[in-house]
Chains A and B, each alone.
Chain A
Amino acid sequence: MRRLKCFVFTVLMLLSSVNLLAKENLIQILSPQDYSLHREATINIVVKVTPAKVDELKIITSIEEKSVKIGKTATMNCKNILLRLGENRVTIRAYKDGKMVDEQIARMYVASDIFYEFRYPPIQYKQTFFHTDTNEALCKKCHKMTSNEIKNVAFIDVKESNCYVCHSHITKDKFGHAPAVNWLCGACHNGKAGVENMQNQGRSKYLAAQPVDQECFKCHKSNYKKWSKARYRHEPLDSGNCNKCHNPHSSPYSKFVRKPVDEICLGCHKDKHIKARELDNSECQGGIDKTKECVDCHNPHASNRPFFLRDKDDQRDKKEKR
């Protein structure tokens, strides 16, 4: 793995040296900015091109390579790309008749609360927001930049939503959360900041408040009743950061968890990894029976018993949604 990384790095360094040779700035990355910080693995990249001199764009990340054909009048080009956790280097090359004309590089960091390694990004990466007046003015020609949803009424055809056009990728996974799949974005992304993200107040039109739990418990009332009475509560629940483990939009895993359950648990509880999985320590029976998951015995939200152990009447709801 390390060898691969080194290889990629050297290749990228070589490519950047090529960049120095190019004289003209034919393409310009408008969004995201260089050294930007993200929390979602998929982002939209916006590139400004002089269409007379460029006929193809190639977007290269460490995961995938995408090419965009450019029309004669398309100065603005958007593309949705996938990033990996941690540091990413996105290279965009412009071609004219098969020849590389220009090259631009943007560095991005995808942070994650689940994994210890990616929890604290390097200091040079700064969180940026796209939906500001200056940015929206650029897109207005092609996209409707206002929200067209009626409050508390979902779209019959979700493709009518103005948000869908650019952000459709966030609901493409198997398990979709109802408000997200029905494109009721305004319920959470109402532009107001919460206690934890006060510093971002007013920086984006569609900011979502952090912590999110107030919005979650509007629908999940019965859970709130159950958990608020419990003797012990898990830290993410208590702090109100439900979206730490759950993806509020969609996820390939049941219950909208961001990763397979054990991975999430062991992301924080690193010591248990060694004890339970590899050394078969008797401290945790799950280590012996490898078919079982952490959540089979522990309640990840709240419990009246120590170590968040489940009660008899609090068994795991294994029935998966089809």
Chain B
Amino acid sequence: MKKLVILLVIVAVGIFTFQHYGVAEKLAKFATIVGNITYSLSTAKHAYEDFDYNISDEELEDINVTKLANEFKSSIDRKKEAKVKALLEAQKVPKEIALDEIREEEVVHHTKTKIKKAQLVSLDALPDKFKPLKKYLHEPFKMGACKICHTSKHNKPGELVKKNIVDICYGCHKTRYTKKFDHKPVKDGKCMDCHDPHQSNTKKLLKADSVNNLCLKCHDRSSSFKDKAKKKFVNMNLRVKHKPIVKKNCLECHDAHTAEYKSLLHFDGKMDLCLDCHDEIGDKVHDSKYKHGGVNTSKKHCLECHNPHATKYKKLLQKNPVATCLQCHDKQVKSDEDGGMLLNIKKHLKENPNWHKPIKEPNGKDGGCGACHDPHGSNNFSILRKSFTKNFYDNFENKDFFCFKCHEEKKVSMQYTEDGNITNFRDGDVNLHYLHVNDRKGRTCRACHDVHASKYTHLIRSYTDFNGVKFPLRYIDTGTGGSCAPACHKKFEYDRFEPKGIGR
């Protein structure tokens, strides 16, 4: 009796946990995953090698399709040559390009598939559902060689020669499937998901009106197609789209069937594929003096920041131009430049509420970190777009400093502000910027201003770095003026309307 009771209790507890914590679902999920893995390991890859589909020689002799096939082939060759010529002209540098380098479109030779003349069906005699005929026809369909795929039994019209439709397709289309990665429908043998075996209004007998729409049928999250992809969704309803997708189609980068690189790409999708078109950026990335670790040494290279399909933000960035950078710069990152640690910008911005305009308005015209830094690499330190000085003391004269790209040089170069609009950092009409910047020991902008963010107005630093020592500026804003008490001098006050007599 005791044993029975214990057993019952165990069973009850088991059922309770199964239901209450969803263990059953998890187990089922786990089982499907394991099943999928074992299936793909054992029976995956293409089964066509095992497939034995030979037509007897007698049958082959009856019909001669070689002529047709040769014509088809020669037309493709001509296209290929034209492509090479165009490429050479575009580059203007004579360069030997092997014909094999260009992606070869599949050529089907119908030499082997010969059918007796008597068995051909004329187009007029086709069933009504194929009429009217569409723009593009499948070659056997055009010939009326239904027998290649269908059995001739009249009681079962439309029955196939082989049970699996793949076996029939691969009988002729043997040139594919020599590469590393396959498209899921190809792997599963679902040719009919994309292609119509008889006729279509789009090239390659597609089941949709364009290549893009066909792809999105599965790869759109909101699609109603029942066999749509489980992941790898692309949202193309966003404002900024990658040009090749809009102007041409997905096949500019992807191969529909099989490819050597992940995501069915023609080249390595992290960098090489992008630089194939964006070669100017390629020069920057590889040849510039100071390189950005985000592109050069990161795991995902270009894709760390960019989305190759479509985004809300300019330049196809994943997040807004500042938030994209903060994905990595939310901690101290080791600099490739000198091995030092870079500032934790996210923390810096959090602690200091007054931000520089490009950071404050990332989606503006000159917005984002990219306004000053070139994320692909630059010949100036800190990958700045234009030169600046690292020194504390540097005379600004005759130097094309970066700040003056946006800020007026007048602010610094005029000794007296005749009209008060030039700068607010003045004592009466004495320009205090001029006083700080123009002497033999002229200080750079960064001595007093923090270019990213600050606790104080006008981006005044809380600490200035002098020879590795941090001295506080002790800036106080009084509304019509202010005061500073840095390490350089004692506490000085200035006022725009009641001059305190500085610089006279």
Task: Give B residues with C-beta under 8 Å from A.
Answer: 462-463, 466-472, 474, 487-490, 492, 502
Q: Is A322 an interface residue, CB under 8 A from the partner? A: yes
A151-188 CB mask vs B (1 if < 8 Å, else 0) is 01111100000000000000000001011011010010
- Cα distance, A181 to B487, chains bound together (Å): 8
Residues of chain A within 8 A of B469, CB atoms compared: 152-154, 179, 184, 187, 219
Q: How far is the CB of A231 from chain B (nearest CB, A)?
A: 24
Closest to A151 in B: B469
Q: Is A2 an interface residue, CB under 8 A from the partner? A: no
User: Which of A152, A156, A218, A321 has a CB less than 8 Å from the CB of B472?
Assistant: A156
Residues of chain B within 8 A of A179, CB atoms compared: 469, 487
Q: How far is the CB of B272 from chain A (nearest CB, A)?
A: 45
Cβ-defined contact, B490 with A154, below 8 A: no
Q: How far is the CB of B314 from chain A (nearest CB, A)?
A: 39
- Cα distance, A221 to B393, chains bound together (Å): 13
- Cα distance, A182 to B467, chains bound together (Å): 15
Task: State which residues 112-163 of A face B: CB under 8 Å.
Answer: 152-156
Q: A154-B469, A154-B472, A187-B469 are in contact. List 5 more A-B contacts (CB 8 A).
A: A153-B469, A154-B487, A156-B474, A182-B472, A218-B467
Size bracket of the A interface: 10 to 19
Closest to A220 in B: B467
Residues of chain B within 8 A of A155, CB atoms compared: 472
Q: Check A178/B467 contact, CB under 8 A, given A154-B487, A322-B489.
A: no
- Cα distance, A219 to B463, chains bound together (Å): 17
Cβ-defined contact, B472 with A178, below 8 A: no
- Cα distance, A179 to B486, chains bound together (Å): 11
Cβ-defined contact, B490 with A176, below 8 A: yes
Cβ-defined contact, B488 with A178, below 8 A: yes
Cβ-defined contact, A154 with B489, below 8 A: no
Q: How far is the CB of A225 from chain B (nearest CB, A)?
A: 14
Residues of chain A within 8 A of B489, CB atoms compared: 321-322
SS class of chain B's interface: helix, strand, loop or mixed? loop
A219-246 CB mask vs B (1 if < 8 Å, else 0) is 1010000000000000000000000000
Top 4 nearest A-B pairs (CB, nearest first) are A178-B487, A153-B470, A156-B472, A219-B467
Q: Check A178/B471 contact, CB under 8 A, given A153-B463, A219-B466.
A: yes
- Cα distance, A187 to B492, chains bound together (Å): 26
- Cα distance, A176 to B502, chains bound together (Å): 19
Task: Give A residues with C-beta under 8 Å from B.
Answer: 152-156, 176, 178-179, 181-182, 184, 187, 218-219, 221, 321-322
Q: How far is the CB of A253 from chain B (nearest CB, A)?
A: 16
- Cα distance, A308 to B489, chains bound together (Å): 31
**Total residue contacts A-B, CB cutoff 8 A:** 38
Cβ-defined contact, A152 with B470, below 8 A: yes
Q: How far is the CB of B343 from chain A (nearest CB, A)?
A: 15
Q: How far is the CB of A104 from chain B (nearest CB, A)?
A: 39
Q: List 21 A-B contacts (CB under 8 A).
A: A152-B469, A153-B463, A153-B469, A154-B463, A154-B469, A154-B487, A155-B472, A156-B462, A176-B490, A178-B466, A179-B469, A179-B487, A181-B487, A182-B471, A182-B472, A184-B469, A219-B466, A219-B467, A221-B467, A322-B489, A322-B502
- Cα distance, A249 to B331, chains bound together (Å): 38
Closest to B467 in A: A219
Cβ-defined contact, A152 with B468, below 8 A: yes
Q: How far is the CB of A303 from chain B (nearest CB, A)?
A: 20
- Cα distance, A219 to B393, chains bound together (Å): 13
Residues of chain A within 8 A of B471, CB atoms compared: 154, 178, 182
Cβ-defined contact, B488 with A154, below 8 A: no
Residues of chain B within 8 A of A154, CB atoms compared: 463, 469-472, 487
Residues of chain B within 8 A of A153, CB atoms compared: 463, 469-470
| Residue of B468, B487, B489 with highest tally of chain A CB at under 10 A | B487
Closest to A175 in B: B490
Closest to A178 in B: B487
- Cα distance, A279 to B479, chains bound together (Å): 60
- Cα distance, A94 to B470, chains bound together (Å): 46
Q: How far is the CB of A159 from chain B (nearest CB, A)?
A: 12
Closest to A219 in B: B467
- Cα distance, A176 to B486, chains bound together (Å): 12
- Cα distance, A219 to B487, chains bound together (Å): 13
Residues of chain B within 8 A of A178, CB atoms compared: 466, 471, 487-488
Residues of chain B within 8 A of A184, CB atoms compared: 469
Q: How far is the CB of B430 from chain A (nearest CB, A)?
A: 13
Q: How far is the CB of A40 from chain B (nearest CB, A)?
A: 22
Residues of chain B within 8 A of A321, CB atoms compared: 489
- Cα distance, A181 to B469, chains bound together (Å): 13
Residues of chain A within 8 A of B468, CB atoms compared: 152
- Cα distance, A196 to B463, chains bound together (Å): 35
Closest to B502 in A: A322
Q: How far is the CB of A268 from chain B (nearest CB, A)?
A: 31
Closest to B468 in A: A152
- Cα distance, A153 to B286, chains bound together (Å): 39
- Cα distance, A171 to B379, chains bound together (Å): 45
| Residue of A153, A154, A156 with highest tally of chain B CB at under 10 A | A154
Residues of chain A within 8 A of B463, CB atoms compared: 153-154
Residues of chain A within 8 A of B472, CB atoms compared: 154-156, 182
Q: How far is the CB of B425 from chain A (nearest CB, A)?
A: 17
- Cα distance, A322 to B500, chains bound together (Å): 13
Closest to B487 in A: A178
- Cα distance, A187 to B470, chains bound together (Å): 13
- Cα distance, A151 to B487, chains bound together (Å): 16
Cβ-defined contact, A182 with B466, below 8 A: no
Residues of chain A within 8 A of B492, CB atoms compared: 322
Q: How far is the CB of B39 from chain A (nearest CB, A)?
A: 62
Q: How far is the CB of B432 from chain A (nearest CB, A)?
A: 13
Residues of chain A within 8 A of B462, CB atoms compared: 156
| Residue of B462, B468, B470 with highest tally of chain A CB at under 10 A | B470
Residues of chain B within 8 A of A218, CB atoms compared: 467
Residues of chain A within 8 A of B466, CB atoms compared: 178, 219
Residues of chain B within 8 A of A187, CB atoms compared: 469
Q: How far is the CB of B237 from chain A (nearest CB, A)?
A: 51
- Cα distance, A156 to B487, chains bound together (Å): 11
- Cα distance, A176 to B474, chains bound together (Å): 16
Closest to A222 in B: B393
